[in-house]
Copies of this chain bind each other. A is one copy, B any other.
């Protein structure tokens, strides 16, 4: 059975995530648990977003001549200076973005939104923006949680956002070599629908799958929920077409392997729109799996579970690794069991009887033909049993898959209920995983409780590699008066803990403006200098997505 997860949904609501009609409101049990855990007096929905009509957006600063030229390039119908469109493009989906919008602040909105139809139009728009000193933000699904698509005006005559939604075609498919060339504006479900018609899948399912675009996948060096099986887009992408302010640039090669100098493709993968606009990319594709098999295991501790993950990856039969591989820490497991209804309640009691009082829950999806996945699952079971695991059947994994794209909706409801919630992620080697997990966790908890209330942190591994794993933190606290300051305090503390642990500042959320101050610690001053040099070559006037990736402070030092 292969679940249909590639549903096209409407574009996100202006103040939050996705289509509110798809949100699953918290039940009374969950609300009670939340109130108790966070020590709140109430969790009533008293903080809704302002009415759309009350959003402050300011007048578009674009001059008539520029506007006229944009209309000539892309057609008048594809150029908007309407407030509604500008508000929708005034940011991504970071917690600060939402906090500002919910409070009615869209003052950073771009001056115009253009919906280009092809690479030629983008080339002309960039040339125009260079001449006029206008900054350009490329906007795919707009799901950045790190400020990656926030318009930054400083020093520019204005900001134009390019919404890529019209560039949504499958350009070419090579079923023999198993590659596909896709336009950058295709959203996840569109990519899957186009490829699945030919029997293929990209295999990239980030939590933003239903909204995010191919261009964003590549520009952010993202990872998806099945990247343990399919590989991250950085490993799947073969070539990219980029429009830069100095002209079109094709990177990568059709060759499956090459020693022709540095792999410059990797300069554009992860460049977050600061070098140019990705217009299309060629990626490796895989056959749609005939079968998916689900499994869940419980371990006596997070450490035991992590050891099992490592053994599975390192000692399992080559190729046996599940496509999806997740391990919750004991906090996250407790919450899952608490909030999962009577079925998980039974699981919890079952485990307690067997000595697992604070279990860590692992979820797996194996993909392939039915015979193979069965054999893999059986061999994996041996490793998990040896690591102290107990099998729980498929239910927790199918339940996870069923709700895999719904978690971000909760943030909107929680903010409305006066609860602060945020997520962040890192990755570390197996050797450093335990201490990184603990250090970042306690830094978040401390920072949450600095505000006076109780905090709550839960963590999971969602990506497993031969040399280590990712760590994904979700944390909650009572929403303080100044939510932006609260968020900055907690994220700052976590980021400093990550840097101190020698882990990466981001495993898959990308850098944007939020992680930019920490990039220097990760890639060094010379790394920043190299990045800046590459930007100077391709975007000499600096119009492309200013304020992202390259830290501003370092720019002064240069």
A320 nearest CB neighbor, chain B only: B319
State which residues 223-262 of A face B: CB under 8 Å: 223, 232, 234, 238, 244, 246-247, 249-251, 253-262
A249 nearest CB neighbor, chain B only: B526
Asked if A201 CB lies within 8 Å of chain B CBs, one says no
> Are A523 and B429 interface neighbours, CB within 8 A?
no
State which residues 69-112 of A face B: CB under 8 Å: none
Question: What distance in Å separates the Cβ of A182 from its nearest Cβ neighbour in chain B?
Answer: 15
State which residues 496-527 of A face B: CB under 8 Å: 502-511, 515, 519, 522-524, 526-527
Q: How far is the CA of A527 from the CA of B251 in the complex (A)?
A: 8
Asked if A536 CB lies within 8 Å of chain B CBs, one says yes
Asked if A3 CB lies within 8 Å of chain B CBs, one says no
Asked if A178 CB lies within 8 Å of chain B CBs, one says yes
Question: What distance in Å separates the Cβ of A370 from its nearest Cβ neighbour in chain B?
Answer: 13
* Residue with the greatest number of chain B CB neighbours at <10 A, chosen from A222, A429, A524: A429
> Are A251 and B177 interface neighbours, CB within 8 A?
no
> Are B267 and A467 interface neighbours, CB within 8 A?
no
Q: How far is the CA of A357 from the CA of B553 in the complex (A)?
A: 71
Q: How far is the CA of A468 from the CA of B176 in the complex (A)?
A: 9
Inter-chain contacts of A536 with B (CB < 8 A): 533
Contact A255:B507 (CB < 8 A) given known A284-B466, A467-B284, A531-B262: yes
Asked if A380 CB lies within 8 Å of chain B CBs, one says no
Contact A257:B372 (CB < 8 A) given known A530-B537, A534-B530, A537-B530: no
Inter-chain contacts of A537 with B (CB < 8 A): 526, 529-530, 533
Inter-chain contacts of A255 with B (CB < 8 A): 426-429, 468, 503-504, 507
Question: What distance in Å separates the Cβ of A349 from its nearest Cβ neighbour in chain B?
Answer: 35
Q: Can you list, as one digit per residue, whether each of A259-293 has a CB less than 8 Å from chain B (1) or not (0)? A: 11111111111111000000000001000000000
Which of B258, B318, B534 contacts A506 (CB under 8 A)?
B258
A529 nearest CB neighbor, chain B only: B537
Bin chain A's interface residue count.
35 or more
Which of B174, B259, B523 contacts A431 (CB under 8 A)?
B174
> Are A259 and B526 interface neighbours, CB within 8 A?
no
Asked if A538 CB lies within 8 Å of chain B CBs, one says yes
State which residues 397-448 of A face B: CB under 8 Å: 426-432
> Are A257 and B177 interface neighbours, CB within 8 A?
no
Question: What distance in Å separates the Cβ of A381 from its nearest Cβ neighbour in chain B?
Answer: 17
A532 nearest CB neighbor, chain B only: B537
Inter-chain contacts of A372 with B (CB < 8 A): 317-318
Asked if A221 CB lies within 8 Å of chain B CBs, one says yes
Asked if A42 CB lies within 8 Å of chain B CBs, one says no
Q: How far is the CA of A261 from the CA of B549 in the complex (A)?
A: 7
Quick one: copies of this chain in the complex? 2
Asked if A394 CB lies within 8 Å of chain B CBs, one says no
Asked if A117 CB lies within 8 Å of chain B CBs, one says no
Inter-chain contacts of A258 with B (CB < 8 A): 221, 427, 504, 506-507, 522
Inter-chain contacts of A253 with B (CB < 8 A): 504, 522
A270 nearest CB neighbor, chain B only: B262
> Are A507 and B466 interface neighbours, CB within 8 A?
no
> Are B318 and A176 interface neighbours, CB within 8 A?
no
Q: How far is the CA of A465 from the CA of B259 in the complex (A)?
A: 15
A469 nearest CB neighbor, chain B only: B256
Asked if A210 CB lies within 8 Å of chain B CBs, one says no
Which of B260, B466, B502 contacts A523 (CB under 8 A)?
B260
Inter-chain contacts of A531 with B (CB < 8 A): 261-262, 264
Question: What distance in Å separates the Cβ of A188 from its nearest Cβ neighbour in chain B?
Answer: 17
Q: How far is the CA of A507 from the CA of B428 in the complex (A)?
A: 32
Asked if A66 CB lies within 8 Å of chain B CBs, one says no
Q: How far is the CA of A523 from the CA of B253 in the complex (A)?
A: 8
Binding site for B on A (CB under 8 A): 174, 176-179, 220-223, 232, 234, 238, 244, 246-247, 249-251, 253-272, 284, 310, 314, 317-320, 368, 372, 426-432, 463, 465-470, 502-511, 515, 519, 522-524, 526-527, 529-531, 533-534, 536-538, 549
What 4 A-B pairs are tightest by C-beta distance, nearest first?
Answer: A319-B319, A256-B468, A256-B465, A318-B319
- Pick 29 A–B contacts, CB within 8 A, sort by A: A177-B468, A179-B467, A220-B259, A221-B261, A222-B259, A234-B263, A251-B527, A254-B429, A255-B503, A256-B466, A256-B467, A257-B427, A257-B504, A257-B507, A257-B508, A258-B507, A259-B507, A259-B510, A259-B511, A260-B505, A262-B266, A262-B269, A264-B523, A264-B530, A266-B266, A284-B467, A317-B319, A318-B372, A319-B319
